[in-house]
Chains A and B, each alone.
Chain A
């Protein structure tokens, strides 16, 4: 009964490959996010979705394409992976209301070799 679950937990892949990370939340939240945590541990928002609608795209390369089939799911597809894409990717969800708590998935540790 994990609140926000993402798969896989670890992903090792070669440069140039295409990969996807899946995320699901069972909290009934309207808003879902993807965050990237780089090697310096800095957490930066990539995308924000409200009820399947893209709200925020933080100048992420268009090799990254989020998809939200319904408000409980937000997947991240990455084309033509590069070494610099290596990071931990966190999915999160929250109510739409500002000031409410965001819940994070356990993270996907992506290593591009």
Chain B
């Protein structure tokens, strides 16, 4: 079983739609959680961190459920420019030795005009 699991998609949605991505992680001692975005043939970039209390950044809302080891990302009012692969990322507890990121396989989103 992979440490971080995501539905690979693709998710094909029309502009203006609301879409939700889910992610589960296996290591209950994981410390930090993120969503990264990767455009085609580009490097991954941080979209947002995920906090237990939930957090929002414009049209994007992220949620963390530590008890269920589950992370979600909600995108409202989808834009064509949101088309990308969304990577769920977890940082395990290495006792402060490193800030290693563990990536999920990514979920491909294609927003259609």
Contact = CB atoms under 8 A, between A and B. Distances in A.
Place the interface of chain B in its size category.
20 to 34
Contacts of B44: 43, 90, 104
A105 B98 contact: no
Contact of A42 (B91, B93, B97, B103): B103
A99 B49 contact: yes
B34 to A, nearest CB: 8
A31 B88 CA distance: 21
B106 A41 contact: yes
Nearest to A102: B101
Contacts of A45: 100-102
Nearest to B49: A99
Contacts of A92: 101
B59 interface: no
Contacts of A40: 105
B103 A94 contact: no
Q: Which 3 A-B pairs have the closest CB atoms?
A: A99-B32, A104-B43, A43-B103
Interface of B: 31-32, 34, 42-46, 49, 85, 87, 91, 93-94, 96-103, 105-106
Interface of A: 31, 33, 35, 40-45, 48, 50, 55-56, 90, 92, 94-102, 104-107
Given A102-B101, A104-B43, 10 more contacts: A33-B101, A41-B105, A43-B103, A48-B100, A96-B96, A97-B99, A98-B99, A101-B46, A106-B43, A107-B43
5 contacts: A55-B97, A56-B98, A92-B101, A99-B32, A100-B99
